[in-house]
Structure 1
Amino acid sequence: MTDISIQLHALPEEVAAFAQKCMDDFNLYAIAMRFFPFEASEITSEEMGKLAQVAPFYGEVALSLKKPLLPAAQRADLMRNNPDVLRFTLERESPAGLRQATLSARTNDPAALAVWKKIASRMKRITKTGVIAMNPDTGATTPTRTFRYTSGAKALASAGVRMLPIAGGNVLILAEVKSEGPNDGGPLVS
């Protein structure tokens, strides 16, 4: 089984616009998920583009080469019935800051893997790499060269919004650290 995993800071509207472009470019289906209580709905490309403005907020989306098998009572059921999806988490700014988002997949399906690799490559080309993790209690820092960020997240960080990891108490500082390849850090949709 092959895994794809990218951790990044991005505004929810940037992620939704990126996912919409991928849906259009690769003729994909999409599932939007809300949590507590769990709800999963198939959405169109047009709905994906507006997803960040919908209340209550959708915290995760999944892209699929095949029409999704729904309904699902919980996330585990959804993933069991739709195992070859590419998932994006969407994070909103909160009083604490902006939490890190993810793009991830786990699949044995060669067709899905080929498309998910293209999408992951596209994400890498249009984000910057390099984040410094800082322990706020000790001030100790370490580079995390694989973490990525968008121009929107960088603007928030420059305005004083804290960048938070997926879990834990560190603070992440968006800094240009030597990248893995060419990128311009421009908008997610090119």
Structure 2
Amino acid sequence: MTGVALQFHATNSEVVAMATEWVREFSLHAGLGTYFAEQAVAVQNGDFGKALAIVPAPDFLILGTQPLLLPKGADLYRLKGMNHDYFVVQLGQRSDTDLRETFMAGVGSDPQTIKLWRRLVGRARRSMHSGAVVINPVMGRLGRLPSHRFTDGALRLQESGVSMRPFAGGNLYRLTTGPVPHPLPDQDMIALAVIGHAVDQWIQAELIPAELIEELKEHLARANVVQRGDTFGDMTTSIFDITRRLHDAFAGYTGPFTSSRPEAKHCLHFFSEEQAIAAEAALADRAITGNVEQQFRQSDEYDSPRRRVWCLYVTLPGTAPDPAHKENEKELINLAHQHDGAYAGWQRPVAR
């Protein structure tokens, strides 16, 4: 089997418009569905609108030169095995804050079909902008991706404050349509961001003696970055914001900058909706507000279906290494265990 693939950022409506054009021009068969086969329908006569009325939030589109097998109860991985010479578009997941990459790939053994799939990928690539900076917020590393593709719709979402994410993982993309100007050399920007990230992490992990942190806080107070009465957690939040602004400046971001609040967004994982709802109710009994979101996570086995996970997000004041943050972590770990779940860590809510 031979294949061709492309990853890019686009809105789902733009991807559907591309697929509609291809289906009609090349007389392709099409279907769409969700990963866990809750719904999967054929697209009749290239009319994606009718199919979307049945499956309003599809996870994927599938195209073929021959009629597609779309049996009830078959997930995407089974559909791939049942259909040959297919072209799959896995749509980027969208939330209020993030847009993930879309992934398209065509495979087959027929040379003419592979030629057609290459033509579709090439046409998609030529219709988009290129250029991005990728940021690893955990390691503090930055890099340029001049060949990364994205659409006008994705760029408009970024300009409205939506973060661009990879198909899977926690990196951040900054889409760019031209050269990225900034007054410092690239290596200086990267080095300063790495230093800021390292200091932030070391303070959180209490790897720096308290007296040195106090001395650093005094220097930052003289520079009007923090207040002398701030906690160490408040200070790490300020350092985090400085590092984030370095990332954004490197990527050419020219919009307004805002400051993060000294709070943590904790994540608890559950493997049934009932567990997540019960944990959410237990939080409400303690006058704590939580937010349950359903997500999917790839299992450790290669090319196996992704596992359904319910994530309970709880945003509370205080960040590491403050005592209040440690108490919050301890309480949420116990809560997760009581409802057969797991505490999955925390992150700072990023203000934009």
Give TM-score scaled by structure 1 length. Answer: 0.84
Tell me the residue number matched to 1:29. 29
Give the Cα separation in 1 of the matches to 2:52 and 2:173.
23
Give the Cα separation in 2 of the matches to 1:99 and 1:14.
14
Give the Cα separation in 1 of the matches to 2:93 and 2:80.
23
Tell me the residue number matched to 1:187. none
Which structure features the higher share of strand residues? 1
Give the Cα separation in 1 of the matches to 2:100 and 2:126.
21
Tell me the residue number matched to 1:42. 42
Give the Cα separation in 1 of the matches to 2:75 and 2:25.
29
| Mapping 1:129-168, distance limit 5 Å | 129-168=130-169
Give the Cα separation in 2 of the matches to 1:172 and 1:150.
14
Name the SS for the 1:78 alignment partner: helix
Q: Does residue 109 in structure 1 map to residue 110 in structure 2?
A: yes
Deviation, structure 1 residue 51? 5.8
CA contact (8 A) 1:16 1:51 kept: no
| Mapping 1:91-102, distance limit 5 Å | 91-102=92-103
Could you say which structure has the larger radius of gyration? 2
Give the Cα separation in 2 of the matches to 1:16 and 1:74.
20
Quickly say closer, same or farther: Cα 1:109–1:144, change in 2 above 3 A. Answer: same
Tell me the residue number matched to 1:173. 174
Identity among equivalent pairs (%) = 29
Q: Deviations over 1:127-168 (max 9, x none)?
A: 112221102245421112332100000111111110011111
Give the Cα separation in 2 of the matches to 1:120 and 1:74.
24
Counterpart amino acid of residue 77 in structure 2 = A
Counterpart amino acid of residue 169 in structure 2 = G
Name the SS for the 1:131 alignment partner: strand
Q: Deviations over 1:71-126 (max 9, x none)?
A: 15222221112121111122343033101101112222112112111111110110
CA contact (8 A) 1:11 1:92 kept: no
CA contact (8 A) 2:34 2:75 kept: no
CA contact (8 A) 1:9 1:148 kept: yes
Name the SS for the 1:119 alignment partner: helix
Tell me the residue number matched to 2:242. none
What is the CA RMSD across the aligned residues, in angstroms?
Answer: 2.2
Between the two structures, name the one with larger relative contact order (CA 8 Å, sep ≥ 6): 1
Quickly say closer, same or farther: Cα 1:60–1:44, change in 2 above 3 A. Answer: same
Quickly say closer, same or farther: Cα 1:13–1:99, change in 2 above 3 A. Answer: same
Q: Which runs of 4+ in 1 moved over 3 A?
A: 36-39, 49-56
Give the Cα separation in 2 of the matches to 1:5 and 1:159.
29
Quickly say closer, same or farther: Cα 1:52–1:43, change in 2 above 3 A. Answer: closer
Aligned residues between the structures: 178
